[in-house]
Amino acid sequence: MASQTETSVDPAPVITRASVGLRSERGPVLLGVMLSMGLIAIDATILATAVPSVVNDLGGFSQFPWLFSVFLLAQAVTVPIFAKLSDSYGRKPVIITGIVVFGVASVLCGFAWSMPALIAFRALQGLGAGAVQPTCMTIIGDIYSLAERAKVQGYVASVWAISSVVGPTLGGVFVDFLDWRWIFFVNVPLALVAAWMISRHFHEKVERVRHKVDVTGAVLLTLGSTLLILGLLEGGVLWTWLSLPGLGVPALGVALVVVFGFVERRAAEPILPTWVLKNRLLITTSLASLTVGAVLIGLTSYVPLYAQSVLGHSALVAGFALAALTLGWPIAASFAGRAYLRVGFRSTALIGTVVALVGVAGLTLLRPTSSIWQVGATCFVIGLGMGWVAAPTLIAAQSSVEWNVRGVVTGTSMFARSMGSALGIAVFGAIANAGLGNTVGGNNASTASAIPASVMAVALQHVFLASAFGAVFMLLAVFFMPRQIKTVG
The answer on 43 and 70 residing in a single domain is yes
Range of the domain at 403: 275-489
**Residue 2 counted as domain residue:** no
Q: Is 239 helix (H, G, I), strand (E, B) or coil?
A: strand
Does 190 fall in a domain?
A: yes
| pLDDT single digits (tens) 135-165 | 888 888 777 777 677 677 767 777 776 776 6
Same domain, 226 and 178: no
**β-strand partners of 235:** 239
- Residue pair 396/341 in contact (Cβ under 8 Å)? The answer is no
Same-domain pairing of 285 and 307: yes
For residue 443, the Cα-to-chain-centroid distance in whole angstroms is: 31
The predicted pLDDT at position 353 comes to 93
Residues 393 and 483 in one domain: yes
97 plus 54 within the same structural domain: yes
Looking at the domain assignment, is residue 372 inside a domain? yes
Q: Contact 39/132 with Cβ under 8 angstroms?
A: yes
Per-residue pLDDT tens over the stretch 38-86:
888 777 667 766 666 776 777 655 566 677 777 877 888 888 888 877 7
DSSP-based three-state secondary structure for 169: helix
Q: Average pLDDT of 345-357?
A: 91
Q: Residue 9: inside a domain, yes or no?
A: no
67 with 39, same domain? yes
Helix (H/G/I), strand (E/B), else coil: 235: strand
- The answer to whether position 236 is within a domain reads yes
Judge whether residue 266 has pLDDT over 90: no
Residue 369's pLDDT is 85
pTM comes to: 0.77
Please, what is the angle between helix 315-343 and helix 372-399, to 10°?
40
In this structure, the dihedral spanned by the alpha carbons of residues 419, 423, 429 and 435, taken in order and rounded to 10 degrees, is: -150
Q: Is 48 helix (H, G, I), strand (E, B) or coil?
A: helix
Q: Which of 34-43, 187-196, 349-358 shows the lowest mean pLDDT across its residues?
A: 34-43
Q: Are residues 281 and 261 in the same domain?
A: no
Average pLDDT, the chain: 78
Rounded Cα distance between 383 and 381, Å, is: 5
**Residue 258's pLDDT band (boundaries 50, 70, 90)?**
confident
Give the per-residue pLDDT at 164.
Answer: 65
Confidence of residue 209 (pLDDT cuts 50, 70, 90): low
Q: Specify whether 38 is located in the same domain as 130.
A: yes
| 7 falls within a domain | no
Is residue 357 domain-resident?
Answer: yes
| One domain for residues 157 and 294 | no
List of residues 6+ apart from 206 with CB closer than 8 A: 14, 15, 19, 89, 90
- The residue out of 176, 193, 210 marking a domain boundary is 210
| CATH code at position 350 | 1.20.1250.20
- What is the Cα–Cα distance from 140 to 153, expressed in whole angstroms? 8
Are 410 and 480 in the same domain?
A: yes
Sorting pLDDT into bands at 50, 70 and 90, what band is 16?
Answer: very low
Has residue 4 got a pLDDT over 60? no
Query: Is the same domain home to 140 and 87?
Result: yes
Count the domains in the chain.
3
Mark which of 210, 232, 255 sits at the end of a domain: 210
Are 306 and 419 within one domain? yes
Q: What is the pLDDT of residue 62?
A: 55
Sign of the CA dihedral running 364, 366, 367, 368 = negative
pLDDT, tens only, 71-84: 877 888 888 888 87
Share of the chain above pLDDT 90, in %: 10
Q: What pLDDT band is residue 101 in, cutting at 50, 70 and 90?
A: very high
Q: Is residue 27 part of a domain?
A: yes
Q: Is 26 exposed, middle or buried (0-12, 13-18, 19+ CB in 10 A)?
A: middle
Please determine, for residue 100, whether its predicted confidence score (pLDDT) is greater than 90. Answer: yes
Last residue of a domain, one of 222, 246, 268: 268
pLDDT at 478: 92
Cα angle at 141 between 145 and 154, to 5 degrees?
85
